[in-house]
Amino acid sequence: MHAIALRLCPQQDLQIELEAFVHKHQIEAACILTCVGSLTTAVLRLAHQDTATTYDGYFEIVSLTGMMSVHGSHYHMAIADSTGYTVGGHVLKGCRIYTTAELVVGILPDVSFHREPDLVTGYKELVIKT
């Protein structure tokens, strides 16, 4: 494995920029190793919900995790507000960077991640190809 570091800037969309990064580097398989940063808007799909929930304000990114691939990526994030209230869910488009998002991405060179329909869950789930 090798790693690539990147920084996202104010007003950039977290999910859109991560997908652009994946496609720019033609990443077959990677994971987010770490991320620190802040948001002014977070758009998350919470557990067992069909629709997005939007949060406006000032938030710290306390966790961002994900599987990355040109064949489909999957990200989850936890954010905290100024009182420490924390919420997390599936990252959707619309998460706007406040000051920064500083990430390290681990690239897995001998693997390819794919998303294929799973008959049990009904969702496109991870399929690992070597």
Q: Is 49 exposed, middle or buried (0-12, 13-18, 19+ CB in 10 A)?
A: exposed
User: Could you tell me the pTM of the whole model?
Assistant: 0.94
What residue segments make up the domains of the chain, in order of their start? 2-129
Contact criterion met (CB below 8 Å) for 5 and 100: no
Q: What is the pLDDT of residues 62-89, one digit of tens each?
A: 999 999 999 999 999 999 999 999 999 9
| Nearest-10 Cα torsion for 52, 58, 62, 64 | 40
The pLDDT value given to residue 107: 98
Q: What is the pLDDT of residues 85-124, one digit of tens each?
A: 999 999 999 999 999 999 999 999 999 999 999 999 999 9
What's the mean pLDDT when you consider all of the chain? 97
- Assign domain 2-129 to a CATH class: alpha beta
Contact criterion met (CB below 8 Å) for 129 and 46: no
Q: What is the pLDDT of residues 5-27, one digit of tens each?
A: 999 999 999 999 999 999 999 99
